Structure 1
Amino acid sequence: MLPPAPLRAQKGRGAVSNLQGRYEMHGREQFDDGWEQEEDGEPRVWKTHVTDEIAKSILTRNSSPDVPFDVSLNPYRGCEHGCIYCFARPTHSYLGLSPGMDFESKIFAKVNAPELLRQELARPSYVPEPIALGVNTDAYQPCERGLRITRRVLEVLHECGHPVGLITKSALIERDIDLLSAMAAKGQASAAITITTLDPAIARTLEPRAAAPARRLRTIRMLADAGIPVGVSIAPVIPFVTEPDLERVMEAAFKAGAMHANYIVLRLPWEVNPLFQQWLEAHFPDRAQRVMNRVRDMRGGKDYESDFGKRMKGEGVWADLIRQRAEKAIRRFGMEKRGSRFRQLDASQFKRPQVVPPAGAKAKAAAAAGQMDLF
């Protein structure tokens, strides 16, 4: 019998396996047959593949009481940043792909997102409210530099005077300061930069292809200097890994110009749970059990609790201690809670788009080829 394939961290990747998705019909086991290694014995390099996707709809609505937005827009599926804790990883299972290495190496780009957004905003029944841009996966992940889907979405929102809130851990947001600054001057834009830790070594394994912590602080400064309300999202708080940095991150972000702050305790839904525990064993074997014990202390003895009101902050003594630490730091630095800033965005200046492209992938392809509609 062939030996099990060893779980080894790979440079530039968060997951240490291509864990099977929960919807796959056939089970499989990993074993070392030699094909997972390069000639020099190093693990096989997982290259990133970006596939164009013609989406059928672009706005997602939710009624969750513990998030500050009701409408979101995600230009991409999957995220090359490779954050091991990403709650969106299980969504790759819907595509028949792994929430592990596939999630961060097989990216789907919704190339018709700006056109779909125009169509949605043009509907007579559409009622404007702030759109959260880049929630499931980062709207400024590496492929956005060339594809510019997020940029074109912002151009539509800017043209229509539509409010938007962004969250990212990429410095690429600085490219769009011209649009965001103009919208912020009208009370129509705010941003949040996610910083989990100030330790670059931890960040390099936790979120391997995102900007370094110091670079994110510089992004906060640039956004603040441009008049864009910006805050910090400390998410997730991982016991004994990023949790000791909670107050230091908030202080550094405040000094960089952050106006608001929030935190989220580590969430381990579905396949994120085994993937995260594999990551712990690969990078922090000395404290892996201790981390998971503390997670369970905050989740009623379970690895995860999905109930509203509990899933973001946890419960129990340790969750309450983290809450007190965060709230005291927010008061000490005179910051706001993030949700209040997002809800204050102004939707009263919204105007429907004047030019609306024809609906459907077929019409889009015909327009690209210069072909007119027959009817």
Structure 2
Amino acid sequence: MQQVKGVISRAKNAPVELVTINIPAPGPGEAVVKVQACGVCHTDLHYKQGGIGDEYPYLLGHEAAGIVEAVGEGVTGVAPGDFVILNWRAVCGECRACKRGRPWYCFNTYNATQKMTLEDGTELSPALGIGAFAEKTLVHAGQCTKVDPDARPAAAGLLGCGVMAGLGAAINTGGVGRGDSVAVIGCGGVGTAAIVGSALAGAAKIIAVDLDDRKLEQARSLGATHTVNSKERDAVEAIRELTDGNGADVVIEAVGRPETYTQAFYARDLAGTVVLVGVPTPDMQLELPLLDVFGRGGSLKSSWYGDCLPTRDFPMLIDLYQQGRLDLDAFVSEEIGIGDIEAAFEKMHRGDVLRSVVIVDDVDEHAASPSTPAGARA
């Protein structure tokens, strides 16, 4: 057992706190990872706001890279000293999806068996089974994907969630191919990654749609060939106009709202594909004429984590990054300290950043008391 500093959400909408947490020694199949960098993702904000569950307190953070410090009995895939990206889909190899050769749909992914706790023994719920806004975290060894140790941790860690979700929505789920036309609705971190993925796949026309001209400008710099500000133009009409009146071959919805999904549905070509990668809230409902669903043909798909297989996709994408063919650094808007997460949530809400990335150094014991709100300065 060891004690480290970590950032928790103690109650719905309460300010996050930097506290002391207990990390057990890794048991069978587990690993302790010294976290080097962790992106601030919308999912962490959803945990804080109660949008995912009520199993407080949550240990936030999940989009991370770091060094394996120790492993438990039976672990062979990684060893102490390995540089890894953490993932929240550690495939089991035994469920019906895995046995059918579709492990990216694994229905029984692994997490650590033991619990990290507060000093008083209160069990923590780690965000997406990871909990990486901390100096160290305990995960299942299958959540550790070994990659090139020369990769920059702040950039590499983003493959752990948002960037992989967007890249995979285009390449894996949407099946974007050479010469395709693609429209991406919503150009935050995930949508922008879908634009990058479409460009990697060889799409001929990539249309970025958003309400914010700053995001549209960034989307163009990362591969979009056309941009549409949907405050100024009807998105469906604009996409059709840019695709000879037909609609796009693949439309990726990266917002997670009924209104934008409806736009995506009508902005695709006949027999085209709609990919939902934006995460809706439980109360949202969608209504579409069933005859339109039938008459337009094609595919309506949801993308889970970009339908990625971490052991396959992470090393390959890091290789592309190291070769200069995938600009992960462009997604790192700022590097911040572990005490700046509350402010990062505000920047995210305003659309000021693609990603704030927490650089996790050893936290000064005098920097914050165990109950200091993370964002307050001692």
TM-score (normalizing by structure 2): 0.27
Greater percentage in helix: 1
Greater percentage in strand: 2
TM-score (normalizing by structure 1): 0.28
